[in-house]
Amino acid sequence: MEKRCHPTKRYYTVYRAKDDEILAFGDKETCADMLGISQKSFYSIVAAVRAGRNKKYEIYSEPLDPVAAGICTEEEYEAALREQWVEREERKRYET
């Protein structure tokens, strides 16, 4: 799967709560693959852990710098940020 430069990508570390064993780490695609579940299921688990409904896992996340991770160049990252800003501005215009 080709990794796309995305300004809001996150890095996750998933631990089993009972013994703090690391079960998965990386972006959402990688974590879902390591856990053997879909990305949608991974997001559901993340939301349940954050809300305190799932005590089986501990999940930590932080912003992923795609340039430092080698996913894209600085120019591609800046272009992605501009594209995200334009999309947000267009949504605002249509919502008003």
Q: Would you state the pLDDT for residue 1?
A: 39
pLDDT digits 0-9 by tens, 31-76: 999 999 999 999 999 999 999 999 999 999 988 777 777 778 888 8
Q: In what order do the strands lie in the sheet with 10-16?
A: 22-26, 10-16, 57-63
Domain boundaries along the sequence of the chain: 10-95
* Structural tokens at position 80: 């992605």
* Angle (CA) 79 43 28, round 5°: 50
Provide the pLDDT confidence category of residue 24 given band limits of 50, 70 and 90: very high
Q: Looking at the predicted structure, is the pLDDT value of residue 96 above 70? A: no
Contact 66, 10 (CB under 8 A): no
